[in-house]
Amino acid sequence: MIPLGFLLLLRRPRRLLPAIGGIVMAVAIMLVEASMLFGVLEAQARMAELVRADFVVMNTLRLNLQDGSELPMIRLAQVAALPEVARVMPLYQSEVALRSRGDADRADAARRPFRRIVVFSFSPEDDPLRIGDRAKIERSIKTPGSVAFDRDSRPVYGDIGIGSNVEFGNRHWQVSGLVEIGPDIINDGSIVMSSGNARMRDSAIMGAVRLRPGTDPEAARQHILARLPPDISVLTPAELRLREIGYTLRAVPIGILFGVGMVAGLFIGAVTCYQVLFNEIADNLKMYTTLRATGFSDGFLRRTIVEQAVLSSALGFVAGSVVALAICLYIARRSGFAVWLSPTYGAVVFIVTMAACAGAGLVAVRRVIAADPADLF
């Protein structure tokens, strides 16, 4: 036989729909908040994921990837001289004001606004970043006057593609290639160019270090730290990523902002579920009390109410996930952040929603347990 709780809920659409509606909203809020939070954190730490190296060497003062503290080139040379190191690839970073010239006439192009953009520079022979086809990137930035544009940049720069003309640093440049980097909270987009074109200074933002095959990474790290002055830090890309996520959570109240939203969503769902079950019990108190009078246990009644709570939360979760997916796709398209639903977030939200609704059911059922079956006579 179908569980009593399922039957009681499924056969009353007027009760089922409000129950599910509240939970849909709660689940959608929680999933979107979680996806946005992790999307922002991943965006802030994206550079760490893009580095194609065993280690990253940076100035110890550079506590996060937004910080511009640079590393003297002499340090990279010292690292490169160590026997464990196969190669060190300097990466330079700066900011410029860019505008697209597009196909507009000279007068119209001149009226377009400049927008801030990050510039990453490295030698065309190096491939310190996992941002696209290496050969294509090398070809596109080797040519004097050419740059590669991040296709994942926010659309604030206008319609820029291969062959487009852009202007920054009082010069005109041609976009000869495209890369995939992505924006973050602060930066709307990026371009990549040759360090020769950029005429970089004697310092770099980081050095991407590749070790010789067969080298013990940790031993190599300790050797680097022992041989060089204490003004450098040596991190794996994974460590850099975690450090950046931790810094973002500490420095910016983003965790609290999104966390409050998630808790609020959970609260809405639990309260809605409780209210629906409370009304269900109030409307059928005599029926539930009759079950107790005739010998059904309190545990059976709790199970019946919790069944309704669980069914509501399961159906609400499915519908809420669909809503959340649609919202996340919209936000991702508009913001450029990788806002997406992952199975892990989904599983956590599912468990939390179930637990909250079951808890609401157990609170609501107390009214039945407290009712005196003798009052039926």
Partner 1 sequence: MQATGIGYTFPPAGERRPVLFDVDLTLARGEFVILTGPSGAGKTTLITLIGALRSVQTGSLRVLGRELTGLSAPEQRQIRRQVGFIFQEHNLFDALTVFETLSLASQLYDVPLGRAETRSRIEELLGALGIADHLNAKPRELSTGQKQRVAIARALINDPPLILADEPTASLDREVTGTVVGLLRHRAEHQRATILLVTHDHQLFDAADRVVTMIDGRIAQI
Angstrom distance (rounded) from CA 251 to CA 233:
20
Q: Which is nearer to partner 1, 286 or 334 (CB)?
A: 286
User: Is 115 in contact with 188 (CB distance < 8 Å)?
Assistant: yes
Q: How far is the CB of 12 from partner 1 (least distance, A)?
A: 6
> Which two tokens mark 133?
């086809």
User: Is 153 in contact with 140 (CB distance < 8 Å)?
Assistant: no
Q: Which is nearer to partner 1, 278 or 296 (CB)?
A: 296
Pick from 14, 36, 34, 9: nearest CA to 315:
9
* Cα radius of gyration (the chain): 29
Q: Which is nearer to partner 1, 247 or 278 (CB)?
A: 278
Query: Footprint of partner 1 on residues 1-60 (CB under 8 A)?
Result: 1, 4, 7-8, 11-12
Q: How far is the CB of 301 from partner 1 (least distance, A)?
A: 12
Pick from 338, 49, 30: nearest CA to 185:
338
Question: Which part of the chain contacts partner 1 (CB under 8 A), choosing from 37-45, 167-175, 215-223, 367-375?
Answer: 367-375
DSSP summary character for residue 249? H
Q: Which residues pair with 56 in a beta bridge?
A: 208, 235
Q: Which is nearer to partner 1, 19 or 45 (CB)?
A: 19
Contact call for residue 370 and partner 1 (CB under 8 A): no
Q: Which is nearer to partner 1, 7 or 332 (CB)?
A: 7
Angstrom distance (rounded) from CA 235 to CA 186:
23
User: Is 266 in contact with 26 (CB distance < 8 Å)?
Assistant: yes
Question: Which part of the chain contacts partner 1 (CB under 8 A), choosing from 35-43, 254-262, 354-362, 368-376?
Answer: 368-376
Q: Which is nearer to partner 1, 1 or 107 (CB)?
A: 1
Contact pattern from residue 215 through residue 254 relative to partner 1, giving x for each residue in contact according to CB under 8 A and a dash for the rest: ----------------------------------------
DSSP summary character for residue 212? P
Q: How far is the CB of 350 from partner 1 (least distance, A)?
A: 27
Query: Footprint of partner 1 on residues 268-307 (CB under 8 A)?
Result: 284, 286-287, 289-290, 292-297
Non-local CB neighbours of 34 within 8 Å, separated by 6+ positions: 258, 262, 345, 348, 349
Q: How far is the CB of 7 from partner 1 (least distance, A)?
A: 6
Which of 107, 135, 370, 374 binds partner 1 (CB under 8 A)? It is 374
User: Is 164 in contact with 92 (CB distance < 8 Å)?
Assistant: no
What is the amino acid identity at position 281? I
Q: How far is the CB of 155 from partner 1 (least distance, A)?
A: 53
Q: How far is the CB of 5 from partner 1 (least distance, A)?
A: 11
Angstrom distance (rounded) from CA 207 to CA 334:
33
Q: How far is the CB of 282 from partner 1 (least distance, A)?
A: 14
DSSP summary character for residue 113? P
Which of 106, 144, 214, 377 binds partner 1 (CB under 8 A)? It is 377
Q: Which is nearer to partner 1, 106 or 377 (CB)?
A: 377
Count the residues of the shown chain that bind partner 1, applying the rule CB under 8 A: 22
Sign of CA dihedral 248, 253, 258, 260: positive
Pick from 79, 172, 158, 68: nearest CA to 115:
158
User: Is 173 in contact with 102 (CB distance < 8 Å)?
Assistant: no
Q: How far is the CB of 372 from partner 1 (least distance, A)?
A: 8
Question: Which part of the chain contacts partner 1 (CB under 8 A), choosing from 167-175, 215-223, 352-360, 366-374?
Answer: 366-374
Residue that is written with structure tokens 């199975």 in the block: 343
> Which two tokens mark 158?
């206008």
Q: Which helix (H) or strand (E) holds 59?
A: strand 55-59
Q: Which helix (H) or strand (E) holds 149?
A: strand 146-150
Q: How far is the CB of 310 from partner 1 (least distance, A)?
A: 17
Q: How far is the CB of 349 from partner 1 (least distance, A)?
A: 30
Q: Which is nearer to partner 1, 1 or 135 (CB)?
A: 1
The contact set with partner 1 (CB under 8 A) reads: 1, 4, 7-8, 11-12, 284, 286-287, 289-290, 292-297, 372-374, 376-377
